[in-house]
Amino acid sequence: MNTQRISQHWMGIGGARPQLVATFYCRLFERHPRFRPLFPEPIDHQMGKMLETLALVAEHADAPGAVHPRLRRIGAAHDRYGLTAADFDDFIEVLIETLSEYSAREWCEGCEQAWREALQRVVLPAVREGMH
């Protein structure tokens, strides 16, 4: 997993990060309406938490001790929703697509691979651990 690429990519998004997260949630709810009831209005607080989590992963994907506690808490908070592997796959696909759109100049196959690996090897296992 190329954590340096993830960090550089995240830094390159800069001030557009809040808009990236807003776009992500709009797209997620549009394509997968089953997620909408999981996030009550106003969603501003949730968007802030997502932004913080993405920043943490971007900076510390290679340091499980730094990210796992937060990710396990996220899993515990989502345990009651009965999320499936397909739900996580849909979440990742929309996130990857949105990340790529907010960094068209810097986006490359390596960026996509690095983010996918971080999400699948760091984020999902810790979230699932928190769900049990």
Residue 24, burial from CB neighbour count under 10 angstroms (0-12, 13-18, 19+): buried
Which residues of the chain are modeled with pLDDT < 50? none
Instruction: Please tell me the predicted confidence (pLDDT) of residue 39.
Output: 86
Which two three-digit tokens encode residue 92? 């990742």
DSSP state of 33: G
pLDDT of residue 13: 93
> What are 27-61's pLDDT values in tens digits?
999 999 999 998 888 899 889 999 999 999 999 98
How many CB atoms within 10 Å of residue 34?
Answer: 10
**Residue 55 is inside which H or E element, if any?**
helix 44-60
pLDDT at 104: 65
Nearest to 7 by CA among 54, 46, 43, 40: 54
Which residue in this structure is represented by tokens 């992963």?
57
Q: pTM higher than 0.85 for the full model?
A: yes
